[in-house]
Amino acid sequence: MKLGDRIIDPTKIICLGRNYLDHAKEMKAEVPKNPVFFVKTLNTLVTNGNPIVYPKLLYSTQEYNRVDHEVELAFIVSQICKNIQPEEAYQYIEGYTIFLDITARKMQISDRNTKLPWYRSKNFDTFGPIGPKIAPCSEINDPHNLNLQLKLNGEIRQQSNTKYMIFKVPEILTFLSRFITLVPGDIVATGTPSGVSPIQPGDIIEASIDQIGTITHKVILGE
């Protein structure tokens, strides 16, 4: 996969849940004491300018017809990473990018309420837009002071700053490396702030982060 002038070959996408206090509150969820992780699969990845496909399965079913946007800062792992210390974390990061965690919200809530895993709500094709480039660590003075914004059809829906993350980048990577081995190209998304809202076929999503850029995606209805 090419992001700007760099090519990555991730083996996994690890996402952080409830890493902004305001988002935990809007989802009526407990604020976590430790980082909460879930997995998105590689079939979700699409690069800047490619469409987000709203599955007809969801669109045509009243039970599941809500899909949400979630803008996030993500970082790319640069080398094999296992059991590291916080002070070492930045040595294992190639750079930063924008990630959209597209979520079939009604399906996720339904699965949670019936105590089922909510894997499927996160992993439809194209539910992981990423890009437009990898901004190297040398260009990001402080990953914890970046403005995030998401516009839906030109209207601002999400606007925050990474300083409000509950768990910061070194803590995220250190904690994660206790449990799994990360390899070069792996993607770690650091969670979304409040303001998540539904998308519909025909919508235009613009997600931006300071010092990284903007990704733009049209939502289309799947066949």
Which residue segment(s) compose the domain that 206 sits in? 2-221
Global pTM value:
0.97
Question: Are 52 and 219 within 8 A, CB to CB?
Answer: yes
Contact status, residue 148 vs residue 209, Cβ threshold 8 Å: yes
Amino acid at site 72: E
Confidence of residue 143 (pLDDT cuts 50, 70, 90): very high
Token pair 């809530």: residue: 109
Instruction: Report residue 141: phi and psi, to 5°.
Output: -65, -40
Residue 22's pLDDT band (boundaries 50, 70, 90)? confident
What element of type H or E holds 98?
A: strand 93-100
Contact status, residue 20 vs residue 148, Cβ threshold 8 Å: no
Confidence band for 29, pLDDT divided at 50, 70 and 90: confident
pLDDT (0 to 100) of residue 28: 74
Return all residues near 2 (Cβ < 8 A) that are at least 6 apart: 47
CA dihedral 164, 18, 45, 124 (to 10 degrees): -150
Mean per-residue pLDDT, 68-93: 98
| Average per-residue pLDDT for the chain | 96
Number of domains composing the chain: 1
DSSP string for 122-140: H-STT-EEEEEEEEEGGG-
Render pLDDT for 150-191 as a digit per residue (tens, 0 to 9). Answer: 999 999 999 999 999 999 999 999 999 999 999 999 999 999
List pLDDT tens digits, range 38-64. 999 999 999 999 999 999 999 999 999
> What CATH number is associated with residue 125?
3.90.850.10
